Structure 1
Amino acid sequence: MKKLLQSLFVLLFIALNAMAQERTITGTVTAKEDGLPIPGVTVRIKNSTEGSTTNSNGKYSLKTTASGSIQLDFSSIGFGTVTKLLPVGATTLNAVLESESGALDEVVVTGYGSGRRISSVVGSVTVVGAKTVENKPVANAFDALQGKVAGLQVFSSSGEPSTTASLRLHGVGSLGASNAPLFLLDGIQVDESTILNMNPNDIETVSVLKDASSTSIYGARAANGVLYVTTKRGKVGADATITVQGQYTVANPASDEFYRNFLNTAQLSQLQIEQGLRTPAATASLLAEFPNDTKWYDYYYKKDVPTYQTDLTISGGGGKTAYYISGSFFKGEGNRFRSGFDRYTMRSNLTTTLNQYIKIGMNLSAGTSNTQTNGLAGNDTNGPLALLAQPWFSPYDANGNEYYGTVIPGWGRYSPRYIADKTPFTRNRLSFNPSGFVEITPVKNVTIKSQAGIDGFIDRETSARLASDVRFPGAGTLSEYYSRRINKTLTNTIEYRFSLEKHNFSVLGGQEYVDGVTQEFGANTSRLPNDNLFILQNGDASNRGVSSSKSEYAFKSLFGRLEYNFDNKYFIDGSIREDKSSRFGANKQTATFWSVGGMWRAKKESFLEDVKWLTDLTVRASTGTSGNSAIGNYESLATAAGSPNYNGLPGVAQSAAGNPDLGWERQQKTSAGFKASFLDRIRLDVEFYYRETSQQLINVPQAYTTGYSLVRTNVGALQNKGVDITLDFDVYRNDKHGAFVTPYINANMNRNKITELFQGKNYYVNPGTGVLWAIGEPVSYVYPMWAGVNPANGLPQWYIPNSGDGSVQTRTDPTAVTSTFSAANLQQNTGIQRYAWLNGGFGVAAGYEGIYINADFTYSKGKYMINNDRYFFENPTTFSGFNQSVTVLDYWKTPGQTATFPNLTQQFTQFDSRLIEDASFIRLKNLQVGYNLPRSILEKTKAVKGVKVFFLARNLLTFTEYTGPDPEVDSNISLGAYPNTRQVGFGLQLTF
C-alpha cells in the first residue's frame, strides 16, 4: 500500500509539473498589403512537429510545453515564410505575411507538373498577384499588367470598353505571324478574348514566362512567351469567407487636347476669307444666319459615362475539400455613341482529396457578355472625322432641341448620333471554360495527372440599318451572324521526384492533344418595312443571302523535362518537346524543340553566407528553341471556294495556291541574368537576352501572272536583343504598425534587326503601311522626307533620295530638294524605328495602420506612329471649307517668312515624314487609395471580418508630345482612334 501511494504521488507530481510548464500561445496573422487577416496559415514551432493553423479571422492558438524563447514559423501558399521569436514568458505573437509578387519564395506554376518554389525555378518567371489585377475599372485583366513586368509590353489601343490589350514580350519575334504570347488559364490554352470575358477578381496570379527554360516545354506555341493565369481557390480547413464588393467609376477621354485644338468660328471664317472661299460680306451674312460656335467634340463624345462592377465570392474548405465560388456583374459605357460592354460571370473551383492516393478538381466557369460598338469609325465623316464640321453649324436649335432625324440646317447632314442609332451593331457572347483534373499518387513521390479543358464560346452578331432611318425609308437591312468555337486541351503527365542525400531529381514526361473547331453561319436580308418586325424572314424574299464556314486545327505533342539540383544550390534543367500540327505541309508538320538552363544560388556558398549586406544572390542562364504556328488553319493547302463563275451558276474556283513545304517558324533564345537582394530591403533583377527568329511565316509577294498576290512561305530572319531590369526597395518598413513605403521601377531595352529577307531582296516596303524591312536595319518607317517650306516662295520641299539604293539609306542633303511631290519617287528610310526601344513602369506602394496607396506609372520611349488624322485636319486646301486644326494658321504669307505650312496655292500636308510623330509617353496608369477598418472595431460585430473603402483612378495623367488622340495606340498608323479613358471612382469591400 505504501509503494502504491508513493507511485501515485510521483505521477501526480509529474502531471502537475507538466501542467505548470505547458503554455498556450495565441496571435493573429495578417497580410502586409491590406492588413486583413489570413486564414489557413500554418504556424509551427521551429524544428518541431508542434503546430496549428489560423482560423477564418486569422487567429491561432498553439499549446506547447517548450520553455524559454521559441521561434515560430508562419507559412501559407502564396505568401512568404516568416520566422518570429517569442520572448521568454510571452504568450502572444502576431505576424505579418507578404503576399504575391512581394514574397521571395512563393509557389508558382511554370509548366506541367506540380508547382515549385520560385527560388528553385531555373527559368525567368515574373509573378503578378491578385492585388495587382483586381479592383480595376476595366473589363480586361491584362490592362493591369502594363508597366508591372519588365520585358512585357502592354498597350490598350482603344477606349472601347470591350477592347483587348496588345501584348508583346521582348520585342517583335515575327514579321509575318502573330506576336501574341500563349495564354493559359489553369493549364488550358485559351484565347485572350476569354480573359476579357472572365472576372479579373477571380485571378490569383499571372505568371509571365520569359526565357527558353520556362517556355520551351510548350514548344510550338511559345515563341512569344507564355502568360499562365491561375484562378483563386479555397483552403482546406478554413471557415467560409464571404466577400461582397462594389465599385463605381466615371470615364472621359484620357486627354481632350487634340479635340480642343480646332478652329473656332472666328478663326475658320477668317481663314476661308483669306483662301478666297467667301467674301467678308458673305461671311457676315453666313454668321448672322448661323450665330454659333459649336464644339463638335462635346457633342460627339459623352461625358462622365459610368462603369459599375459588383462581385460576390465564397471560399473556404471543410474536411478534404476546398471551394471557391464567385459571381460578378460588370457594365461599362463608352464615351462614343452606342459604345458599351456588360458581362455576367460565374465560377466554381473545387478540389478534393478522395484518399491518400487520389486528388481531383474541377473548375466551372461561364459567362455572358453584350458588346455594342459604333460602326462609324476610321475616316468616316460621321464618325471620328465628324470634327471636320464647321463650328457655325449646330446640332441644336435656338431652344436647345436636338436636330434628331432631321437635316442640320446649313450643314445638310444628319447628326452622327442619329446615324449611329439607326445603324446598330451588337454582339452577344456565351462563353464557357470548364476544366478538370485527376491526380494519382500510386507510390511515394510519383504523381500521375490527367487534365482536360475546353475554351468555348457562342457568338451572335447583329448589324442593321433600321427601317425607320429617314435617309432610307422602309429600306431596313439586317444581318445575323452566328459562330461557335470549341478548343479542347487534353494533357497527361507523370512526374517522379526523388533525392539521394543532397542530390535532388525531378523527371517529368507527358502527352498533350489540342484541337479547335470554329463553325460559322450567317444570313442577311433587306427592305425590312418596320422596326417592330425586324427579323430575317420579313425582308425581301428575292434579296437574301446566306453563308457558312468551318475551320479546324489540331496539335499532337510529346514532351519531357529533367531537373536536378545539388543541395538546393546548383540547379540544371532540360526539356524536349515534339509537336505535330495540322497547319503545315504533310512533310513539315513535325518539329522538335528543346531547352537547357542552369542556376546558381550563390548566397548559399560559405564565402557569402556571412556577408550580412547581401541577403540573396542567384545567377541563371538558359538557351533553347520554340516555335510559332499562329497563322490560318489551311495555308499550306491549295484550297478551293465556291464561285458563280459560269453563266451565273454555282461553280468552284481555286482560292489559294497553298505551300506543301510550309513548316514551323523557329526561334532560339539565350538568356543570362541574376537576382540579388541587399540589406533585406533592396531587390534587383537583371536579365540579358538574345532572340533569333528564322524560317519566318511571311506572306511573300508573287508575280500577278501566277494568279496569286501572296503565298505564305518560310523565309527571312530577325534578331532581338535586350535587357530587363527590375528594382524595388523598402524605403520604410514597420510591421508593428503595418507601415511600408516600397517604390519600384522596371525597364526593358530592346533592339531589333532584320538579317534576312526573301527572293534575294535587300529591302522590302510593306505596301500601304509606311513600314520598311531592310537587311541589317531595324524595322523602320519609309516615307518621303520633309525638308520644310521654302522661305523665299512658300513652296513645300522634300529631300531627294539617293539613286540606286532604293529606300534603305537616309539622305537629307539640303542641296538636293524638290517641290514636286511623288510618294513613289521620294520615299526613303526615314531612320525612325517602328518599335519603341524602351518600355517599362515605375510607382510606389505604401501603407500605414490600414491606410494604403498604390500608384503605377507606365512609360514608352522611342515609340513612333503615323498620325493620319493630320492629313485630314491640316489640309485646308485639300478639304476646302471644312474645319481644321489651329496649326494651319501658321502658313506662308510673305517672302522670308519661316512657316509650318506652304502658301495657300499648295497642298498643306502630304503623306510624308511630318505625319510620323514621337508617341513616347508617361501615363499614370493606376492609382488606388484605400482604408481597411481596424480589427478592433470589426471584432465587435462578430460577423464582419473586413471592411475596405477605396478610391481608384485609371489614366489619370498623361505626358506626351504626340498631337493625336492617344499615344498608346499599338499600331504603325493611327486614324480616328478611340482614345483611352480617364476613370475615377470609388469602391467598397465587405468580408464576412
Structure 2
Amino acid sequence: MIVVLLLASIVTTNTYGQNASTTNSITVQGQVMDAEGVPIPGVNIRLKGQNTGTISDLNGNYKLSDVTEDAVIEFSFIGFATLEKKVKGETLNAILLEDTKSLDEVEIVAFGTQKKESVIGSISTLKPAELKVPTSNLTNALAGRIAGVIAYQRTGEPGVDDSNFFIRGVTSFGYAKSPLILIDNIEVDTKDLSRLQPDDIESFSIMKDATATALYGSRGANGVILVKTKEGQTGSMKLNLRVENSISTPTKMLELADPITYMKLHNEAILTRDPLHALMYSEDKIDNTVPGHSSVIYPVTDWRNELLKDYTMNQRVNLNISGGGSMVNYYVAGSFMQDNGILNVDKANNFNNNIKNRNYSVRSNINIKLSKTTKLMVRMNGAFEDYNGPLSGGSDLYYKIMQSNPVLFPATYPKDEEHAYVKHIMFGNSGDGKYINPYAEMVKGYKETGRAKLESQFELNQDLDFVTKGLKVRALFNTSRLSYYSTSRQYKPFYYALGEYNYMNNTYAVDIINPNGGTEYLDYNEGDKTITANTYLEAAVNYDRDFGKHGVGGLLVMQLRNNHQPNASSLQTSLPKRNVGLSGRFTYAYDSRYFVEGNFGYNGSERFDKDHRWGFFPSAGLAYMISNEKYFKNLLPYVQKLKLRASYGLVGNDNIGDSNARFLYLSEINMNNGGTGASFGYNEGAYKKNGIAINRYADPSIGWEVAKKMNFAVEMTFMDALNITAEYYKESRDHILQSRADIPNTMGLWKTPNANLGKAKSHGVDLSLDYNKYFTNDTWLQLRGNFTYAANQYVEYEEVEYPGAPWKSRVGNPITQEYGYIAEGLFVDDEEVRNSPVQFGEYGAGDIKYRDVNRDGVISELDMVPIGYSKDPEIVYGFGASYGFKNFDVSVFFQGLARESFWIDYGRVSPFFDNSSTDVRENNQLAKFIADDHWSETNRNIYAVWPRLSDSSIENNAKKSTWFMRDGSFLRLKQLEIGYTLPQRIIQKAGLKNLRVYFTGNNLFCFSKFKEWDVEQAGDGLKYPLQRIYNIGLNLTF
C-alpha cells in the first residue's frame, strides 16, 4: 500500500502537472483529516476543472504545485462527502465529513456486505463516533441515537447499569424479547455488548425487518444488532491513544423533609388514624432537636450523608495499534475502565466496601493474505471484569436509606473511656436493637465477583474467480470460554444504644445491645461459580456478478452452535444446547433501478419434538431507485436520491422459555416431589395426596414462535446534503407460548400446562435524517435526528373469563399495559365514605376514592381497567448537531421519550411505614413533596398529592390506581462535547499525527413534568440514581 500511494502521488503529480498553467502560480500544501482530527491517507486532491492533482500520503499530508491563487481544490475519498475549498494562500487544510448515504458505500448485511443502493432490508447504521460517550457501558449510548430502537436506563449503579433496549419495541409477551446481538458474526449477550470499546468498532448496524433478519431464522424474530470490529489497513504503524477521566454525581434524588417536620408529621399520622394512641415523639424531643446539629441525646442522622459521597471519579483508557503490509494487516487493542461508586468507607474497617467495577479487554484482529485469492483472518479477544461492592448492592442501600428513621439514633457512637479498647465499630440502634441501621448494613462486609471471557476465531476466505467470476467460499470457526465467580465476606455488627443520661453534667453512657450477636472477624461465603463453553461453525458460498445491466447475487450459509455448562446446577441446564441452520439469499438488480431479494432460514432446534423441530422462514423484498431513471434529474434536479422499498417475511424464535422449559415435548415426573404429590384445588383444605406427581405432561405439538414482518420505506437525498429515511412496519407474532388458563385446579396438576396459544401484533414508524454542509473552508455543520414510534397489543391470550367486566381482558391492550383502579379523588369527609360504594379495609376522609366501573355498589377487582400508557415507552427520539470552526468543534445531543406511564411505589415511598417482614423494624423517610402537599384536617384538598398520612399501610390506598400514576415523558440534554485539535505545525514537532482535547458532559439537564427523582428511572426512583458526568479526554495519534 505504501508503494502504491507513493507511485500514485508521483505519477499523478507529474502527469497532471504538464497541463497546468505556471502563470501567477504557487505551491499549496496542507493536511486532510476527518471530523475528529484523524489524518486520512489516499484522498484524491485535484484542481477543479483541471487535470492537475495528487493524493494525500500516510499522514494525510499533500503538496500541489502550479496552483493559481484563485483556484478551487476538490478533495474526495470513498465514504466521505466531496469538499471544495478556495485557495487563500500556500497552506490549505481540509476536514472531510463522512458521507453515510453514498451510493458507492457498502452496507453490512447478514453474513456479508451489499452495495448500499441494492439493500432492500430495513437496516439502520450508527457511526462509531456517536457511541463514544463518557461511560463504560455501550448500551447507554443507544437511546435516541438510532431509528427503530426503544431504549432506556433505570439505574446508574456501576456494573449493573445496562440499558433496556428493544428493536421496534416489545413485540411478544413470550419469554425472549431482546434482540439477537452479534459481534463479528458471533452471538453474544448484553454484557459483551455493554463492555465493547467504541474505538474498536468499525460498523454498528440494526436489522429490523424480515428481509434483513430472515437468514438468522430461529434467532432473529426480535431484530438483530450486528457489530463489526476494526481490522488493520495497509500502511505504516498507527498508534491511537484515548485517555478519559470523569466526575460523576447523581442527576436527581428524592428530596427528604427536615427531621423536625418528620417528627411532627409522624405524630400527625398516628393521631389522624387513632386519636387515643400514644405519640411517637414528645414535645421535648421535637423542641430540642436541631437540624444539622446532631447530638447523642437528640440525634439527627442524615443517612444519605453518612452513606454517600457527593461525587466520584472514573477512568477509561484505550490503546490500539494498526497497520500492515502486502501480506499481513493487524489491529491490536487494549483497554482499561474503572467505575467507582459514591459510597463512603469506614476507616475502622480494613477493607473497601465501595463499588469499584474494573474492566480489562484485549483484542487482536490479524488478516493474513495466504495467496492472491486466499485470506485468513485470526481474531482473538479477552474481556475481564472485576467487581467489588456492598453485600446487597448499591440500589438496595438506597432503599435502606429510605427505610431508616432519621431521629432515633446515630450511625455510630464515639468510643468513650469505657469502650476505648473495643476493636469493633459501635453501631447505633434503639434500645431493643430492632431498627435498621443502613450504615451498618453498608460497611459490615463486601462482595466480589469476577467474569472472564476468552474467544478465538478463525475465518478463511477463498476467492474462486478462477472457477467463475464472482464466486467465493468462506469457513469460520469460533470457540469461547466464559467463567464467573462470586464471593463475600462480612461480620455481624455490634449495636449500641443510649443508656443512662445525666442532665446535670450532660454525661451519658452507651450500652451494648447484642454482646453475643456480633463478631469481630469476617465470615467467608464461597458464592457461585459457573463455566460456559461455546462453539460455532459456519460455512458459506457467495456469488456476486454483473452481466451488463443485470446484477445477480446468491448466498448459502450453514451454521452450527453448541453451548455447554458443565457445572450447571440441574440436569436440564447441564445438557449441551445445540442449534443448526441453513440460510440463503438471492438478489437481482437491473440497471441500478430495480432490485429483488429473497431470503430464507431453515433451522433446527432441540427444544421441539421431531415433527416440529425444523422451521422454514422465508422473506422477499422489492426496491425501486426512481432517481436513477433518465427523466428524474431534469424533473427534480434538487433530489439526488429517491428509493422505495418493501418487504415481507417470516422469522422464528425458539427461545420460548427458560432452561426448565427446554424439552416440553417430554413429560416431567417427580418420584418424591417433596412429599407434596398431587393437589386437587388451591384453596385451604383442598384434597392432597402424597406420592408420585407429574410435574408436566408431554406436549409434542409445542413449536416455534413465528413473527410475520411487513415493511415499507422511502429514502431521499436533497441537494446532496439532506438525507431522509422514513419507514412504516407491521408485525404479527403467532404461536406465543403461554400457560393454560382454562384448566381447573381440580384436575390435580402440579404445574399448569403450556401451549402455543398467544398472538400479538405491533406497528410503528421509524424516521431518520442527517444534514451535512460546508459553509466556508473552515466551517462545517452536521444535523441529525431520528424518531421511533412502536405500538403493540395482545391479539389472542387465554385468560379467565370476566363476566360483566370485559375491560379486564388483555386482548386489544398493549403488552406491558398495567391494570388498576380509577381514582376520583380523596374522600371529603366520613359522610361521603358512608354514601359511596364499599372499598377495601378501614378507610375514611382523606383516603382514595375509586370509581365503581361496573356500578355494582362494591369496589372490587372487577373495577380494574387499563390505566395509563404501557410501562415501556412507545416513542423514543433524539436530535443533535455538530459544528466545526477551524480547529474547534462542538456537538450537542438531545434524547427523549414519550407515551410511557409509571407508578410511585406506595409501600416504599409512604412515610413512617414498617414494611419489614422480619423482626427488624423500619420507619420510612418522609419525602418533602408529601410533607408539602398531603390531605390533613387543615388541608382538606381532595386533589392533594398524597392521601391522609398513616404510620402503617392502608389497604385501600395501597391498590394500584391512577392516583400514583405518573407521566414518564421527558426530554434530556444527553450530551455536550467541546473539542480542540492542535495545529499540525505544533504537534509534528512532538512526532504526533493528531492531538485532540475535549470536554464532554452527559445527562446534563432533563425537562419533565415529574420532579421527584430522575424520571428515566420511572418507578425505580429509589434505586441507585442515574449519573451526571463531566468528562475530560485526550486523543493522541502517533
Q: Same fold (TM over 0.5)?
A: yes
**1:357 lines up with 2:381 in the alignment:** no
1-side partners of 2:1035 and 2:187: how far apart? 32
Q: Which amino acid aligns with 2:367?
A: T
Preserved contact between residue 558 and residue 579 of structure 1 (Cα < 8 Å) = yes
**1:931 lines up with 2:980 in the alignment:** yes
2-side partners of 1:355 and 1:955: how far apart? 51
Q: 1:404: Cα distance to partner?
A: 7.5
- Summarize the Cα distance change of 1:147–1:757 in structure 2 as closer, same or farther, 3 Å threshold: same
Deviations 1:520-578 (A, max 9, x none): 368xxxxxxxxxxxxxxxxxxxxxxx999614211111111111111112111111110
**1:304 lines up with 2:311 in the alignment:** yes
- Aligned ranges 1:194-593 → 2 under 5 Å: 194-236=192-234, 238-256=235-253, 258=254, 260=255, 262-274=256-268, 275-276=270-271, 277-278=279-280, 280-284=282-286, 287=289, 290-336=297-343, 338-376=354-392, 383-392=398-407, 393-395=409-411, 405-410=425-430, 412=433, 413=435, 415-443=437-465, 444-466=469-491, 471-473=517-519, 476-520=523-567, 550-593=574-617
2-side partners of 1:748 and 1:291: how far apart? 55
Structure 2 unpaired stretches of 5+: 1-13, 272-278, 290-294, 344-352, 496-516, 677-690, 840-848, 916-921
TM-score of the pair, normalised by structure 1: 0.84
Q: Which amino acid aligns with 1:497?
A: D
Which of 35, 41, 57 is residue 55 of structure 1 equivalent to? 57
Counting matched residue pairs gives: 920
1-side partners of 2:287 and 2:66: how far apart? 97
Which of 970, 983, 991 is residue 1029 of structure 2 equivalent to? 983
Q: 1:897: Cα distance to partner?
A: 4.5
- Aligned ranges 1:498-897 → 2 under 5 Å: 498-520=545-567, 550-610=574-634, 611-630=636-655, 631-633=657-659, 634-636=662-664, 637-639=666-668, 645=674, 656-701=696-741, 703-704=744-745, 705-730=747-772, 733-734=774-775, 736-737=777-778, 739-758=779-798, 774-779=810-815, 780-793=817-830, 824=861, 826-830=863-867, 832-868=869-905, 870-876=906-912, 882-889=924-931, 890-893=934-937, 897=941
The range that moved more, 197-206 or 160-169, is: 197-206
Q: 1:831: Cα distance to partner?
A: 5.0
1-side partners of 2:45 and 2:494: how far apart? 70
- Summarize the Cα distance change of 1:204–1:764 in structure 2 as closer, same or farther, 3 Å threshold: farther
Deviations 1:324-378 (A, max 9, x none): 1111111001235632310111111111222211011111111211123444369
1-side partners of 2:697 and 2:52: how far apart? 72
2-side partners of 1:796 and 1:335: how far apart? 48
Q: Which amino acid aligns with 1:266?
A: I
1-side partners of 2:618 and 2:878: how far apart? 32
- Summarize the Cα distance change of 1:395–1:417 in structure 2 as closer, same or farther, 3 Å threshold: closer
The range that moved more, 885-894 or 948-957, is: 885-894
Q: Which amino acid aligns with 1:713?
A: A
Structure 1 unpaired stretches of 5+: 1-15, 523-545, 766-770, 803-810
SS in 1 for 2:567: strand
SS in 2 for 1:968: helix
1-side partners of 2:1017 and 2:386: how far apart? 24
2-side partners of 1:764 and 1:228: how far apart? 49
2-side partners of 1:645 and 1:42: how far apart? 77
Deviations 1:364-414 (A, max 9, x none): 11121112344436996x651322323224325589999983231548456
SS in 1 for 2:305: helix
- Summarize the Cα distance change of 1:308–1:619 in structure 2 as closer, same or farther, 3 Å threshold: same
Q: Which amino acid aligns with 1:424?
A: Y
2-side partners of 1:386 and 1:763: how far apart? 45
Preserved contact between residue 799 and residue 814 of structure 1 (Cα < 8 Å) = no
Q: Which amino acid aligns with 2:202?
A: E
Preserved contact between residue 801 and residue 827 of structure 1 (Cα < 8 Å) = no
Q: Which amino acid aligns with 2:984?
A: R
Preserved contact between residue 143 and residue 876 of structure 2 (Cα < 8 Å) = no
Deviations 1:619-672 (A, max 9, x none): 11111110122233424243467978589xxx9976544532221100011111
2-side partners of 1:331 and 1:764: how far apart? 58
Deviations 1:921-980 (A, max 9, x none): 222222221111112322333x1111111111221112223356443248xx53742221
- Summarize the Cα distance change of 1:22–1:903 in structure 2 as closer, same or farther, 3 Å threshold: closer
Preserved contact between residue 162 and residue 196 of structure 1 (Cα < 8 Å) = no
- Aligned ranges 1:135-174 → 2 under 5 Å: 136-163=133-160, 164-174=162-172
- Summarize the Cα distance change of 1:180–1:19 in structure 2 as closer, same or farther, 3 Å threshold: closer
Preserved contact between residue 703 and residue 709 of structure 1 (Cα < 8 Å) = no
Q: 1:168: Cα distance to partner?
A: 0.5
- Summarize the Cα distance change of 1:734–1:815 in structure 2 as closer, same or farther, 3 Å threshold: closer
- Summarize the Cα distance change of 1:897–1:521 in structure 2 as closer, same or farther, 3 Å threshold: closer
**1:98 lines up with 2:97 in the alignment:** yes
- Summarize the Cα distance change of 1:371–1:687 in structure 2 as closer, same or farther, 3 Å threshold: same
Q: Which residue of 2 aligns with 1:768?
A: none
2-side partners of 1:125 and 1:918: how far apart? 31
- Summarize the Cα distance change of 1:318–1:60 in structure 2 as closer, same or farther, 3 Å threshold: farther
Q: Which amino acid aligns with 1:487?
A: N
Q: Which residue of 2 aligns with 1:911?
A: 959
Deviations 1:121-153 (A, max 9, x none): 11121111221112x232221221211111201
Which of 945, 961, 965 is residue 1009 of structure 2 equivalent to? 961
Preserved contact between residue 31 and residue 93 of structure 2 (Cα < 8 Å) = yes
Deviations 1:133-190 (A, max 9, x none): 12x2322212212111112012222212222221111121110121111111011111
2-side partners of 1:273 and 1:827: how far apart? 34
Aligned-pair identity in percent equals: 22
1-side partners of 2:451 and 2:559: how far apart? 28
2-side partners of 1:685 and 1:298: how far apart? 50
- Summarize the Cα distance change of 1:881–1:512 in structure 2 as closer, same or farther, 3 Å threshold: closer
Deviations 1:199-228 (A, max 9, x none): 332112211111221111211111111111
Deviations 1:815-861 (A, max 9, x none): 98899875x45433325433322111112111111211222221111
Q: Which amino acid aligns with 2:703?
A: G
Q: 1:580: Cα distance to partner?
A: 0.5
1-side partners of 2:371 and 2:475: how far apart? 17
SS in 1 for 2:117: helix
SS in 1 for 2:174: coil
Preserved contact between residue 787 and residue 799 of structure 1 (Cα < 8 Å) = no
1-side partners of 2:938 and 2:89: how far apart? 90
SS in 1 for 2:400: helix
- Summarize the Cα distance change of 1:182–1:549 in structure 2 as closer, same or farther, 3 Å threshold: closer
- Summarize the Cα distance change of 1:390–1:899 in structure 2 as closer, same or farther, 3 Å threshold: farther
Q: Which amino acid aligns with 1:847?
A: G
Q: 1:477: Cα distance to partner?
A: 5.0
The range that moved more, 275-284 or 149-158, is: 275-284
Q: Which residue of 1 aligns with 2:500?
A: none
